[in-house]
Every structure is written in C-alpha cells, then in structure tokens.
Amino acid sequence: MSKSELKISIDKPDRIYRGGETVTGAVEVYVNERCECKALILKCEWRTHGKGNIARGEVTSVNLFSGTWEPGASFAYEFSIQLPAGPATYHGTYLNVDWYLKAQADVPWAIDPKSEADFVLIPISARVPAKRVSEIKKPSGACGMGCMLVMSLIFGGVGVGLLVASLQQSGCATLMMAGFGALFAAAGVWILVSSIRKTIAEKRLGPLHLELSGDRARGGDPLTATVRFTPSADIALSRVMATLQAFERCVSGSGTNTTTHRHTFFTRDVQLCGPRGAAAGAGVELRGEFVLPADAPPSFNASDNELTWSVKFVVSMEGLPDVSRDVTFTVAS
Amino acid sequence: MPALALPFAHLNLRFNPFGEATPSDRARLAVVDIDRFVDRLQRGGAVEFVAAHGRGKSSHLLALHRHFPDAPFIKLESAMRVAPAQVLFIDEVDRVANRAAVFRQVRSIALGTHSSVAAELRAAGLEVESGFVSANADRLRDILERRIEWARRGAGAVPRLSESAIAALRSRFGDDVRAAEAHLYDRFQTLSEVGDVEV
C-alpha cells in the first residue's frame, strides 16, 4: 500500500516569533512508492481553541511543489513566510489563540497526507498613535422603560389572573394558585418599582460623558478615565468608581445547546470620588489613572471568541440605584 | 498572565482535549457503533438517536453523516419548517414544525431527539432503527481517551485517566458525557505535569 508522510520543520527551536518576522523551515516528504502530487500546499493560519466554537483566519497559502515523488529519496521544500502583526498568541482560561503551519499534499486516488506545526506569535513592540475615546451615554430611553413596563404588566397580569382563578378553586389547588399568583404579582410590582427608580436615578444624573485617554493602548501604558455629568437635580453621591477590566467571552454550541462562557481575568478599581454632593446644573468632572499591566494581552474579536478590555464606570447615589456604563478600548498587538 | 510558550507542551498535548471541537472533528472522535444504522439508511427507512442533552446524539448523527456526506444536515436552532430531501439528517427534530409531512416525503432520515418519534415515523411508512444513546464506563473511557490522543503533541506519555477516575466521573456525572468533559476541561487547564488525572 502506498504511503506518503509529511513533516514540517521550523528552524527556530523555541518557535517564538514576533509579529512581522519571517518564519522559515521546510516541509519534508517521505514516500514508499512513486507518487503523483498535484500540489503541496503550505498554509499559515491562526485558530482559536478552548471553550468557544473554533474561529480561524488564514493568512498565507503557498504551493511548494507539483510533480512526482520517487521512492527511496527524501524531499524537503523550504519555505519562508512573513508573519502579520497579529492576532498575537494568547493562552487564557476559556480562550486560546494559536498559530499554525499546515501542509497538505493533493494526491490523486489517495487520502491526502497532511501535517501541522504550531508556533508562537508575540506582539510587535512598536508604538502606535492613540486617539481619545469619548462616548456620551444617555439615560435609558422610553424604549427601555417601555420594555420594563410591559414585563411588569405581564407578570402582574398573570399574578392577578392566578389570584382571581384561585378563588374559583377548592382545596390544594386554591393554595397553589394563590401562592403562584402572589409571587407573580410581587415580581411585577418589583420590576415596575425597580425600573422607575432606575429611570429617576438616570434622569437626575443626566447624560454621562465618558472619556479614555487612548483608544489603542499597550501593556504598561497609562490610561486616564474621565467621567463628566451635570445633574438635573441635587444629588448626594456615595461614590464613583472606575474599574479597568479584561475578560474572555466564548460561545459554544448552537441552537438550544448554545452556552456562553465568560471569564474576567483582570480587574483594577479606582475610586474617582467618595461621598459628596452635586448641585443641580453644576457640572461634575471626575478623573482616575490606571496603568495597564505590562503583559496585558491584546484585544481579540472573532466569531464566538473575544478578549475585551473595558473601563466600567459606576455612579452610586444615596437612596437610588447605581448607574453604570462601560467603555471598551483596544489593547493593540 | 504567564510567559508564552507552545500551548500545553508541558503535558505533551497541543491543546486542551476537552475544549470545543469542529463538527468534522466530533464526527472523527465519536465512539459509535453505527453499522446497522448505515445499513438502514442505505436500504431506506429511519434512524433515531434518543437521549437527553449531552449524551452523544449529535456525535452519533455526525458520525453517521460521514457515510452520507451529500445529505443535508440540519441543526435546528428554533422551531422551523424543513424542506424534505431523499436522505435527510435532522438534529433536534423535536423542533420541526412540519415533521409529519417531512417524514412522509423522505426515503431515508436520521434524527436526534430527546424522546422517541418512532411511532410517527412508522405512521409515515418508514421502518425505524432506534438507538438509545448512553455511555457506560467502557464507552466513557474510550470517548475521553480518544480526546486525549487527538490532542497529543508527540510520542511519549500524556495525562492518563485511571479506572478510579473514570468511576468517579461516572459517579458524579452519570452518562452525561458533556458534563464530564466540561469538568475535565477545567482539570486540564490546571494540570502541571503528565500523570494520572485526579477528578
């Protein structure tokens, strides 16, 4: 039976490359009988592995050889592939991003032999100019309030319906229906009260102007987070916090088997202010400084797999629910 | 955030064996005995794989589909209508709105379902082979060991699941293969060296 085998050799023993460098090596071929090869294709691609559905991106594809292989001889086809800047190799909890060279020979009337070798791509250290990120987060509109109102009406309606229906039953059924009715009605009231309180908090605070000093940061960079708002009524602030955070988010399966896995692997809190008052119509500007960890992994976003960096602002007011907003930014490769 | 190296090289693996696999890898990795089902579909008729979530219905269907690569494979994400075909594969058939009509119009059909639809298939004039998917200790060990071999980096030792580890998984997760794999994913993330895996 004819047999052909491929093996990829990468020149650098540790197989660690920086973005933009060139990976070199050879595809070695062994055959035990004469063998036609339509094409010996070498592909360079990144691929995710871990908890999420697999995402991949092909960067390069080259044909190293077409022709006939004779038995008894060894064949080696050298390659030289310049690597892109990213995505950089990342090994996390649920998300991993890795780089691969894949060789496959197109052999007629036989199972195509193939081989794969992985390598590490580390980020380029060059700096890139960063722009300020500025976002205005308006209070939840009528739509948000409307949705909550509809939900509270549904829960309340079902609850009242069950309570009324329980009056027409007897024995255990009465108690069960009345119990469930009371639960649903209470849930409806709770949703309504919560949404009203949240709306009041957002209206009093007014639009939040959130700003980060850079939209593209790198490990070790300083990052200034600023929040500005002008209350529409006098408020008593308990505190305002900014949290620098990074998380992996992966989606596995599809349909009814879809599961989202989220793992926050970095958080750092900065208090922008403690208890203080803020008068109606008087602008408030609060600022906090972060330093990104030196080994901060770059942001990554592919189908069903992402690594996201963000700053979460939380404004706490006395007697009202917290108002929170996120601003995402990119940690560059 | 540790220094970068080749992934899982310390375990002589290329990746965590219990992470998500592509449908084609799942088909290759499936530990199934499907000869009689292949035969049934070739002669015309219906095959149903019945089980709760996580027991291997989809893996059985994917493995069977390798024998009929041209047949449509439909994975339903919500209640929907399906167009009939000569040979049809449907995962989550419980969600097909017009399934009685579909059953009447196919020559062969393979299904994944939470509860048997054999009576409906027979009413549509199809002969039915039912497979009730479950994993005993031997099959569970085969499934998990095949996963570890799939992730192997090179010759030599790789992490090993002992008989007591398999028994512990069976005791904790029953025949829910997906739950056992999810647990092992977390264990393999923290393994520091090749050896027996404690579960």
Q: How many residues does chain A have?
A: 333
Region B10-36 average pLDDT = 92
Decide if B189 is inside a domain. no
Among candidate residues B10, B3, B19, the one with its CA nearest the CA of residue B181: B19
From CA A157, how far away is CA A165, in angstroms rounded?
12
Q: Report the percentage of chain A scoring pLDDT > 70.
A: 92
Tokens linked to A296: 């901060």
Q: Which of A49, A51, A120 sits opposite B5 (nearest CB)?
A: A120
Question: What is the spatial distance between Cα B173 and Cα B188, in angstroms, rounded to a whole number?
Answer: 17
Nearest to B147 by CA among B5, B2, B11: B11
pLDDT at A2: 58
What pLDDT is attached to residue A126? 47
Please report residues of B whose CB lies closer than 8 A to that of A14: 5
Confidence of residue A132 (pLDDT cuts 50, 70, 90): low
Check whether A143 has a pLDDT greater than 60.
no
**Are the beta carbons of A50 and B21 separated by less than 8 Å?**
no
C-beta separation of A270 from A242 below 8 A: yes
Average pLDDT over residues A121-144: 63
Give the pLDDT band (50/70/90) at residue A254. Answer: confident
Strand pairing class (B87-91; B108-113): parallel
pLDDT at B5 over 90: no
pLDDT of residue B77: 63
**Could you report the per-residue pLDDT of B67-119, keeping only the tens digit for each?**
999 998 888 765 566 666 778 899 888 888 778 888 888 899 999 999 999 99
Segment among A90-94, A116-120, A150-154, A209-213 with least mean pLDDT: A150-154
Q: What is the pLDDT of residues A16-40, one digit of tens each?
A: 999 999 999 999 998 888 888 999 9
Residue B33 belongs to a domain: yes
> Which residue does chain B place closest to A251, by CA atoms?
B20
Averaged pLDDT for residues A113-134: 75
Query: Residue A118 is nearest to which of B1, B6, B53, comparing CB atoms?
Result: B6
- What does the pLDDT read at residue B80? 65
Q: B57 in a domain, yes or no?
A: yes
Nearest-CA neighbor of A313 among A204, A227, A246, A238? A227
When mean pLDDT is compared across A202-206, A214-218, B21-25, B148-152, the lowest value belongs to A214-218
Considering its fold, how many domains does chain B have in total? 1
> Nearest by CB to A98, which of B7, B75, B185?
B7
For residue A53, the model assigns a pLDDT of 95
Residue B51 placed within a domain: yes
Of A304 and A177, the one with more pLDDT = A304
pLDDT at A220: 87
| Closest CB to B7 among A53, A91, A266 | A91
pLDDT for the residue numbered A216: 73
Write the residue in A14, A51, A297 that is nearest to B20 by C-beta: A51
**Structural domain harbouring B90:** 27-132
A96 touches chain B (CB under 8 A): yes
Confidence of residue A221 (pLDDT cuts 50, 70, 90): confident
The rounded distance, in Å, linking the Cα atoms of A50 and A94 is: 5
Please report whether residue B120 resides in a domain.
yes
Q: What's the whole-number average pLDDT of chain A?
A: 88
Cβ–Cβ of A49/B16 closer than 8 Å? yes
DSSP A173-204: HHHHHHHHHHHHHHHHHHHHHHHHHHHHHHHH
- For residue A276, list its beta bridge partners: A237
Contact map slice: B 59-78 vs A, CB within 8 A? 75-78
Structural domain includes residue B19: no
Query: Could you give phi then psi for residue B73, rounded to 5 degrees?
Result: -115, 115
Indicate if the pLDDT at residue A42 is higher than 70.
yes
Q: Do A256 and B21 touch (CB under 8 A)?
A: no
* Yes or no, beta carbons of A120 and B77 under 8 Å apart: no
pTM assigned to the model: 0.83
Q: Report the candidate in B184, B27, B182, B44 with the shortest Cα–Cα distance to residue B91.
A: B27
Report, at the CATH architecture level, how domain A4-122 is classified.
Answer: Sandwich (2.60)
**How would DSSP label each residue in B46-112?**
EEEEE--TTSSHHHHHHHHHTTSTTS-EEE-SSSB-----SEEEEESGGGBTTHHHHHHH-SEEEEE
Q: For residue A49, give the nearest of B1, B15, B95 by CB distance.
A: B15
**Inter-residue contact A59 to A84 (CB < 8 Å):** yes
Q: How far is CA B127 from the centre of its chain?
A: 24
Would you say residue B9 has pLDDT above 90? yes
| Cα atoms in the 13 Å half-sphere on the side-chain side of A274 | 0
Give CA–CA dist A102/A56, Å, rounded. Answer: 13
- Enter the tokens of residue A174: 């009465």
Which residues of A fall within a CB distance of 8 Å from B22?
Answer: 54
In a domain, B150, yes or no: no
**Neighboring chain B residues of A257 at a CB cutoff of 8 Å:** 53, 58
Q: Is B190 on the interface with A (CB under 8 A)?
A: no
Residue B112 maps to which CATH number? 3.40.50.300
| Maximal C-alpha separation, chain A | 92
Q: Chain B contacts of A17, Cβ < 8 Å? A: none
When pLDDT is cut at 50, 70 and 90, the band that residue A50 belongs to is very high
C-alpha distances in angstroms, B27 versus A260, A326, B61?
23, 41, 8
Domains A4-122 and A127-138+206-333 share a fold: yes
| Mean pLDDT across B159-175 | 94
- Is residue A127 scored above 90 in pLDDT? no
8 Å CB contact of A255 and B2: no
The architecture in CATH of the region A127-138+206-333 reads: Sandwich (2.60)
Pairwise CB contact (< 8 Å): A255 & B76: yes
How do residues A264-281 score in pLDDT, each as one tens digit?
999 999 999 999 999 999
* Interface membership of A122 toward B (CB under 8 Å): yes
Residue A142: pLDDT band with limits 50, 70, 90? low
Give the closest-approach CA distance of A252 to chain B in angstroms.
Answer: 7
Q: What is the average per-residue pLDDT within A231-236?
A: 92
Better-scored residue on pLDDT, A11 or A107: A11
Rounded Cα–Cα distance for residues A331 and A218 (Å):
5
Distance from CA of B128 to the nearest CA of A (A): 26
Which of A246, A266, A226, A250 has its CA nearest to residue A309?
A: A246
Percent residues over pLDDT 70 in chain B: 94
- Subunit contact B92:A256, Cβ cutoff 8 A: yes
Q: How far is A50 from chain B (nearest CA, A)?
A: 5
Cβ-defined contact of A50 to B16 (cutoff 8 Å): yes
Cα–Cα distance measured from residue A44 to residue A58, given in angstroms and rounded to the nearest whole number? 6
A101-115, A170-184, B13-27, B123-137, range with the lowest pLDDT: A170-184
Across the interface, whether the CB atoms of A51 and B92 are under 8 A apart is answered no
* Annotated domain spans of chain A: 4-122, 127-138+206-333, 139-205
Find, in chain A, the residue whose alpha carbon is nearest to that of B178. Answer: A257
